[in-house]
Amino acid sequence: MNIHQFAVVHPDAKLGEGVEIGPFVTIDANVEIGAGTRIDSGAVVKSGTRIGKNCHIHSNAVVGDIPQDLKFQGEDTLAIIGDNTVIREFVTIHRGTASKGKTVVGDNCLIMAYCHVAHDCVVGNHVIMSNSGQLAGEVVVDDWAIIGGGALVHQFTRIGCHVMIQGGALVNKDIPPYCMAARYPIAYEGVNKVGLHRRGYTSEQIDAIADVYRTIYDSGMNITQSLIEVEKLPESPERDIIYNFVKGSTRGIVRKP
């Protein structure tokens, strides 16, 4: 370990092999930091935080502070960061409440400067949040989603896998998997074809995804009716992921403009 002489590290904190702690960092008790993680100057890691291996917490980020929720009564909860995740300057990630008990950010994520991840959020793997993106409480973001800069995401909203959200968007509806969302009010803007190609999806898979969304958005049917028709489409993992997401949505999905 390499701990700067001006860092304040509680003796009960558990630090893995090769952890680097910069000057003026504060690390509380009841903190665990995985091997190879680096924490830059001025960052604060609060009680209840669990940080994985080979992460990089940049200057003045705050991880694991108490929720901004008036129902919070000081209960023991967690903020969990996966492996290989980068948290940039002035990011704030709050720990959970009694509702779920933990806030989670997965592996291989990039959380850019000034972003906020509120209490009880669950952020999947390979997620990118661009500068100043804001997640309210209990938001779920699935794997490989990209949230544009300055986007504001309403509490209890879900963002599907491989989604691309426009910068500055106001997200108050669920965003189904594999699609792009933009405009005000937020709306479906087509399948995220470029992102899917980059991640190895074939043209046939992308065409099948587009067929599902044509059924949902262009058939003239309501959501319940369109889901019945989606079940009749050729079977595929992507079809099932979309079907289960839409059927399980409690806030309702974005509509086509």
**Hey, which residues are catalytic here?**
119-120, 137
| CA R_g for the chain | 20
Angle at 5 between CA 88 and CA 30, to 5 degrees: 60
Question: How many whole angstroms separate alpha carbon 53 and alpha carbon 66?
Answer: 23
Q: Which of 187, 121, 127 is nearest to 154 (CA)?
A: 121
Question: How many whole angstroms separate alpha carbon 192 and alpha carbon 94?
Answer: 30
Classify the C-alpha dihedral 18-24-29-31 as positive or negative. Answer: negative
Contact criterion met (CB below 8 Å) for 38 and 54: no
Scanning the structure block, which residue is given the tokens 């992460």? 55
